[in-house]
Amino acid sequence: MAAWHGVQAQTTGATSIRQAFENYSKLDAHEKLFLHLDRATYVSGDIMWYKLYAVEGTRQRPLPMSRVAYVEVLDGRKKPVLQTKVALKDAVGHGSFQLPATLPAGRYTVRAYTNWMKNFGAEYFFHSTVTVVNTFAAKLPADTTRTATHDVQFFPEGGNLVKGLPSTVGFKVTDHTGRGLAAEGVLLDKQGKPVARFATLRHGMGQFSFTPAEAGSGYTAVLKLANDQSLTRALPAVYEQGYVLSVARSGSGQLSLSVAANTPSAANEELYVLGHAGQQAFFAQSVRLANGHAQVVLDKAALPEGVLHFTVFNEQRRPICERLYFHRPNSRLVIDAAADKPQYATRDKVSLRLATADGAGRPAAAGLSMAVYRLDSLAAPGSATDIRSYLWLTSALKGHIENPGYYFQSAEPEADAAADNLMLTQGWRRFRWEAVLAGTLPAMPHAPELNGHLIEARVLNKQTGAPMAGIPAYLAAPSRQVRLYNGISNAEGLVRFEARELYGTKNLVLQTNFRQDSTSRFELLNPFATNHAEQPLPPVRLLEQHRADLTQRHVQVQAQNAYFRKALSPYAQPLTDSLAFFGRGDERYRLDDYTRFKVMEEVMREYVPGVQVRIRKGSFHFMVVDNGHRTIFSDEPMVLVDGVPFFNTDRVMKVDPLKVQRLEVVTRGYLHGPLTYSGIVSYISYKGDMAGAQPDARALVQEYEGLQWEREFYAPRYETEQQKQSRLPDLRQLLYWNPNISTSAGQPQQLSFYTGDEGGKYLVVVQGISNTGLAGSSIFTFEVKPAAVAQAR
């Protein structure tokens, strides 16, 4: 695979680095999210639809690890305007946002992440930019473009400029929105003498080479933009001694890695080189420099696909140079998507055929999502984020990438050069080498949500505010479906509740056993990330020529909300287990089957033999019969009303039994998480509202958004002549959205939907991924003509 030009050394050092890297990778689950948005441009009042794909970062295969994803819409100040939690099942999930009618016009960032991904920083989250226009505004928003400000950055290849060593420097020129600008320039030394000339290639990026003649900060670049504006920027400082790594194509099908050094030990120093991609090491080699130089030539055909990292370490195993290289992937999911006709009338049936295959044409089963929407001046083709380019490229780099699909669509030398500029200027690594080589994972405060949503709270001392450790805590949401979650606070006072099947808005009741602890209070922690990546947002520029389309969009949304509000409102109710968390009680009573007493004490004494009612010091106490050991528990049981613990039995005795439908008793010890209950007494009311009882005043009662209910996409069907003659206006801009499409390995998938009353060109976007990690998308258009026009043609 490779041959070093220089003095070859033993591979012990390189092997130990590789082993440390592989050990670290085994402990560090690499998770990515991709979010397929139905469109990139909305108006206030629209519904935003999306599908989530969770994959592992090594081979991009679906990763069914996390069961919850967090999706947010952030404004230009990085403040969340919409937030939700979405259930993931088998590595996919989907949901929607109703954009408020009052949402101001502007660019917004949609980001998605899991709880586990929060350990690695916001740069690692999925980000996509969308445009929202408020058509309720009295006038079009003014062009918000500010006075031009520019950012110019220089990136020495390998990390540093070193005196006397030839170096390549990548550079990037952007405006205040992060958009690349074309520029050309000259590099000047201290005396103002030109030492190199350069120009951008694509997206404001380029590179040049020169040999620094002196150390320090003496080199200055003078750039000229397309508008003749001049910029002057200083290059990074030049080091007196150091190392330079260079990566370049070497002949047909080969890649050359060259290391140069001018250190005192450069004559025969031993270095170690590691290559890795997607957290898998594919190359490790030791080498001794010969007169300060060494080179390795790699066979490109043997390299993995995607973004490759090459890191050079010195004899002390400290990283001294690093370089990224993009090996364009050939693997892809080919989606054959076609409509039965290129043109349709209004309220006409559209039939689609979908089939998926690998790059060699072999059928491949895949999960897909599809959006069909009308193109206008506000929604240009190609604005959608592509799943393949995101997983292979965007997710592996830092910052905004303009038109990532370009690096996949062209195999021309210019595309290779542009990709190389991208690797020079936007490299990023999700870990620190110090942690890898130390053999220990850094702090991972955010646990993966393997079974359900983790609700976190902190237990604090009421008086001092100090965290309290070892305190049992209980979390519940009043409901006829009895769910109780518990935990014990750790040294930082943190307690986690694994809340499965918690959907919609709930009033959470968080408390301790006040008979044992009365000195604590709770803080419910925000489950959403509060750190943000640098994501510059371009301004919204609406011109007078957009007015007609804006008016049409406004009418479309108003018609949808006026005539189809009920159809757009239903949410699919997920199937949940109706059994209580403890299963079926050993004793079960439907109170309507017995004499209806007006006092709970009479109910318990008359026909609940598994519970003995006692009075001590003027207060009621329950004691459950332990049938397993033919005795009575000495400790009081866990008493629940609609799943909420009540530690004061007097409160339970005040509950109106006429509001209680049934009662269940567990007459044995019950192990629940880290705690054990001396039996359970569970009351279930007719309405799931605790029969009017109130929890202890010391409990924290707080409204909380659980997982999002799944909104069902609605589209009218015109199967009969009567339906076609309906007078309800069908002005949909989004004709069809389907996040749950599955293709088999042999049989094409057939789908159908109906056009509305709006003529024009419609874009079909299909995206998806196979079980083996093949990702791909397909885009095509069809036209809709009013019936009279279509017949005339």
448's tokens: 């993966």
Number of domains the chain is built from: 3
d(C-alpha 338, C-alpha 456), whole Å: 48
Number of H helices, E strands in the chain: 11, 51
pLDDT for 791 equals 46
Helix (H, G, I), strand (E, B) or coil at 314: coil
682, 702, 722: which is the final residue of a domain?
A: 702
Mean pLDDT across the stretch 512-536?
91
d(C-alpha 540, C-alpha 143), whole Å: 7
d(C-alpha 377, C-alpha 185), whole Å: 36
CATH classification of the domain holding 673: 2.170.130.10
pLDDT for 352 equals 96
Flag whether 499 is in a domain: yes
Flag whether 232 is in a domain: yes
Residue whose pair of structure tokens reads 């500010």 in the numeric block? 146
Q: What is the pTM of this model?
A: 0.92
Residue 7's alpha-carbon distances to 55, 270, 438, in angstroms, are 42, 9, 29
Flag whether 373 is in a domain: no
- Worst-scoring range by mean pLDDT, 42-46, 140-144, 253-257, 575-579? 140-144
CATH classification of the domain holding 219: 2.60.40.1930
Helix (H, G, I), strand (E, B) or coil at 298: strand
652, 685, 702: which is the final residue of a domain?
A: 702
Helix (H, G, I), strand (E, B) or coil at 730: coil
The 10s digit of each residue's pLDDT in 746-780 is 788 999 999 999 999 999 999 999 999 999 999 99
The 10s digit of each residue's pLDDT in 294-329 is 999 999 999 999 999 999 999 999 999 999 999 999
Q: CA 233: distance to chain centroid? A: 36
The 10s digit of each residue's pLDDT in 385-414 is 899 999 999 999 888 888 899 998 877 789
- Residue 168 pLDDT > 50: yes
446 in Cβ contact with 61 (< 8 Å): no
Residue 108's alpha-carbon distances to 122, 125, 383, 785, in angstroms, are 16, 15, 14, 33
Flag whether 483 is in a domain: yes
* Percent over 90 (pLDDT), the chain: 73
496 in Cβ contact with 447 (< 8 Å): yes
Q: CA 238: distance to chain centroid? A: 39
d(C-alpha 46, C-alpha 98), whole Å: 6
- Worst-scoring range by mean pLDDT, 57-71, 531-545, 663-677? 531-545
**Selected residue with higher pLDDT from 575 and 436:** 436
Flag whether 592 is in a domain: yes
d(C-alpha 415, C-alpha 64), whole Å: 35
- Worst-scoring range by mean pLDDT, 134-143, 249-258, 406-415? 134-143
Residues 593 and 675 in one domain: yes
702, 718, 734: which is the final residue of a domain?
A: 702
Q: Give the domain extent around 649.
A: 587-702
Residue 384's alpha-carbon distances to 55, 86, 331, 458, in angstroms, are 19, 21, 21, 41
pLDDT for 145 equals 47
Flag whether 650 is in a domain: yes
- Worst-scoring range by mean pLDDT, 173-177, 256-260, 685-689? 173-177
The 10s digit of each residue's pLDDT in 603-618 is 999 999 999 999 999 9
Mean pLDDT across the stretch 136-163?
76
474 in Cβ contact with 645 (< 8 Å): yes
What is the DSSP code (8-state) at residue 772? T
- Residue 61 pLDDT > 90: yes
Say which residues have a Cβ less than 8 Å from residue 416's Cβ, sequence separation at least 6. 249, 328
- pLDDT classification of 423: cutoffs 50, 70, 90: very high
**Selected residue with higher pLDDT from 634 and 786:** 634
Flag whether 257 is in a domain: no
**Selected residue with higher pLDDT from 312 and 141:** 312
Residues 614 and 697 in one domain: yes
Flag whether 181 is in a domain: yes
Residue whose pair of structure tokens reads 């009043």 in the numeric block? 478
- Worst-scoring range by mean pLDDT, 246-260, 340-354, 535-549? 535-549
166 in Cβ contact with 209 (< 8 Å): yes
